[in-house]
Structure 1
Amino acid sequence: MSDRPFRNSVRYWRTPLLPGADMVTAEYLDHEFAPHWHDAYTIPVIEAGAEMYDYLGSHHIAETGTVPVINPGEVHTGSRANEHGWQYRVCYVPVDFLQRLADDIAGRAQPLPWFPADVIRDPDLARRVSTAHRLLEAAGDSPGGDPPGGDPLAAEAALIDALSTLLVRHARNEPEPARLLADNPRVETMKARLVADLAEPVTLTDLAQAVDLSAFHAARLFTRETGLPPHAWRNQVRLQRALGPLRAGVSVAEVAAATGFTDQSHFTRHFRRMFGVPPGRWQSR
């Protein structure tokens, strides 16, 4: 790796070859991702430097040439693991796409693919993921997918190759859900209350009264079961629901108001902490 520190430079893009997916080509020097989750499978490849992150109760370091997969819906963080920062490429692969691919590989319906929490250290897989990402980016940048470097046939083949290799070598079945405890309905009730109207002010006392607990015990229970305190969990739902309108071209100010953020600056601050760029820039890409 060069002795030059990386910059905070992010490019979000999309490709018709992987419908519904967000793609990222980025390098970071000092950006720190707040605890968050994605609705898709997060499939990065670290191309230089190293990233550290907290995930599923453990602290991880993903160095150059690794593939630190994050399962959908799982809370995680992200920041540099050395003074230079890190450079990576990320595919946010929709759950239904990876599920169909797993079914095709097995020739029959499969359980939801699930990946262990440990960083995947498989140099051959890392090369395949990086190659697929680069070819997809080149195909998207070349009108009509014309060569050189813009062949959509080669890009799609590389994508299927990379994801099928990931599934065959590293996927497991989704863990069986733990036996429901008496408190699980309370957590679901609080979630429902939080998302019923994202623009409606909700207090911790409101949540606690809905489940017949004190505010202290309601907050502790919710945080223990979801990995985030109620206000942070609600903001994550707001951010996820903002993506569709942003893609459709709705203004940032309108999206901020519709999803319940106090104002546009509040929305922008939370969006950048999760996605690394302001919402207007994400939308323009």
Structure 2
Amino acid sequence: MSTPHPDFQVYTLLVTPLVEVRDVVCAGTCRHKGEIERAGRTHLVFPYRGTYVRHVGHDDAVADASQVLFFNAGEDYQVSHPNAGGDASLSMALDPTLLRELAPPALLADGEPLRFGQTRLRIDPRAQVLVALLRHSLREGIAEPLEGESLALTLVHRALAPRTTHAAGSSQGRQRLVDRAKLVLARDLARRWTLAEVAAEVGVSAVYLTQSFRQVEGVPLYRYQLRLRLARALDLLRDYDDLAALGVELGFSSHSHFTAAFQKMYGRTPSEFRQIALHR
């Protein structure tokens, strides 16, 4: 079911007493901060296509496929879209009692309603695969409610488990610098950026950018770009019969390069993943 809106579409994929899963696709027409919004209940939001910036007070978080964002109940926020092309996210709301059982106490704020104490966490490649599997299987009508719930809970557990996450760290200045670099890379996933080009775009030295990015994100710049490309591949696999063309579109030098990178990251080739996600 789709809910119409001037700027975005909300597709309800699953509603049970414990879990609600929605696919939110935004046109991204608002370059500057939009109207103030407020979540009625706490949501875990997994961006899987494009980028946007979520503004909460003085905290600005670039939303991309490498992380989960926490939209806390009763918390005001605004959204802007520095990059053209729109974005899409998988939004999930869980029964609060269930979410408290899944979430490590250190991640939660004190009191009621249930809220997270930070705005985002980095997720690992396995969590990215679970996002794609959950979305594809629900959109295609392959997964029954029980399976959908199980996949959703597995994803939440994976995303919140301390061993699989990396919280954004370091100073606010370095965080803002890294966020600018992330927006530069996301602007054109297929472009073969050089370090000097990215550093020039954000106005710092290549050495400082390299050190800052690794400190804040926990991965080097090139690795982050690769993860963005492969996450986009997870999103687009259902739409491409020619996987070689998909690899070229995402900036890989050849089909074999694309396949090898995908398999190394996710443990399956692109064709194997498509078979599992769409033809079970």
Q: Normalization by structure 2: what TM-score?
A: 0.45
Higher alpha-carbon Rg? 1
